Amino acid sequence: MGWANENKPGWERETLEKLLHAQVIEQRRARRWGIFIKLLFLLYLLALLILVRGGDLGLTDWFEDDRVPAEHVAVVDIEGLIASGSLANAEDLNRTLRTAFEDAGTRALILRINSGGGSPVQAAIIHDEIQRLKGLHEETPVYAVIGDIGASAAYYIAVAADEIHASEASLVGSIGVRLDSFGVVDLIDNIGIERRLFTSGDNKALLDPFLPLEESHAEHMQGVLDDVYRQFVEVVRAGRGDRLDADAELFDGLIWTGQQSMELGLIDGLGTDRSVARDIIGIEELKVFKPRRTPLQLLFEDLGMSVLRQLMAWESTPQWR
């Protein structure tokens, strides 16, 4: 019979069509399985994000009556560099602060600070918003709790609180202003490079590192820094009042430990966020408020932190070399 089929006219075409049809069916089946696996993986990622970061996405609000106590202490983290392009930026933090103050269960608010400082402009915007919200919610006390460090612009924010607390070894202070620059006037000459600079305005090349520093420019920049410094000192004095040690040199840029800071009047007591909530506020339940992130942002942030932690682990682990 096989020979008969092969001798049948057009058997080659019929066989080829069957092979192509079988291949198309197999490709469709493989494509369906591929789509199914991809959808399954996406559902897995979504479920993982909901479990780990559901609060950040606002998904846990659906279960708020069951999972969140009637009364709680709202916690807002101010961590890392305070700058417009960082996680600790004024726009996100102020939006989070408003959400925390307006939450029906909030009885007090803790600013959980762990930052060495950053932009004075961003710090001032956050400080002023805290003051405004305190005026709108007079029944809600605000406490700043410093972790490892609360210095410079971070301390600028902290003085907006009613009380400041820190651990004994926390670093506090650094009340001052700095501007970093450098000068490489002779560098390009030594390596044979001709630099061409065109400006409109006599002082447009202010602080150009390839030009000699003019005395008038240095005096001008010092005046700018002095004005920002004056604003910083006024904010600290207004926030701390007569709690500051009047005889101490508090505004020279130095930092102190938490213990020293309490003696100088820079903070009010020693403690953590948990101890302040339990022993001073009288409510142990904490509810952390964070800026809302999209699932994709959260995924990239988690991946970035995982890579950073791994790099730090490699750096701190002894290596055979």
Residue among 164, 160, 157, 74 at smallest CA distance from 116: 157
| Exposure string over 256-282, b if 16+ CB within 10 A, otherwise e | bbbbbbbebbbbbbbbbbeebbbebbe
In a domain, 12, yes or no: no
Residue 7 lies in a domain: no
Q: Is the pLDDT of residue 180 over 90?
A: no
Residue 277 pLDDT > 90 = yes
Give CA 220 to chain center in angstroms. 33
Q: Length of the chain, please?
A: 321
The tally of CA atoms less than 13 A away on the side-chain side of residue 52 is 12
98: domain CATH number is 3.90.226.10
State how far the Cα of 97 lies from the Cα of 110, in Å rounded to an integer.
10
Candidates 123, 51, 56; CA nearest to 291 is 56
- Tell me if 301 is assigned to some domain: no
The number of distinct structural domains making up the chain is 1
DSSP-assigned letter for residue 238: H
Q: What is the average per-residue pLDDT within 105-125?
A: 96
Structure token digits, residue 45? 């990622």
* Average pLDDT, integer, range 53-63: 53
Using 50, 70 and 90 to split pLDDT, how confident is the model at 93?
very high
Work out whether strand 255-257 and strand 171-173 pair parallel, antiparallel, or are unpaired: antiparallel
pLDDT class of 265 with cuts at 50, 70, 90:
very high
- Asked if the structure places residue 24 within a domain, the reply is no
**Distance from C-alpha of 49 to C-alpha of 52, rounded to nearest angstrom:** 5
Per 3-state DSSP, the chain is made up of helix, strand and coil in percentages (nearest 5) of 55, 15, 35
Residue with tokens 């999209």: 294
pLDDT score of 316: 41
The span from the CA of 168 to the CA of 152, in Å, is 18
Task: Indicate whether 32 belongs to any domain.
Answer: no
Q: Average pLDDT of 244-266?
A: 94
DSSP label at residue 135: H
Other beta carbons within 10 angstroms of residue 163's beta carbon come to 17
| Catalytic residue set | 152, 204
SS3 38: helix
Confidence class of residue 318 from pLDDT cuts 50, 70 and 90? Answer: very low
| Residue 311 within any structural domain of the chain | no
Percent residues over pLDDT 70 in the chain: 80
Mean pLDDT of 239-267: 94
* Residue 47 in domain: no
Question: Which backbone phi and psi does 76 adopt, to 5 degrees?
Answer: -120, 125
Q: How confident is the model at residue 312 (pLDDT cuts 50, 70, 90)?
A: very low
pLDDT at 246: 87
Residue 137: inside a domain: yes
The residue range of the domain holding 125 is 59-291
Q: Is 107 helix (H, G, I), strand (E, B) or coil?
A: strand
pLDDT at 27: 79
CA-CA-CA-CA torsion sign (249, 250, 252, 253):
positive
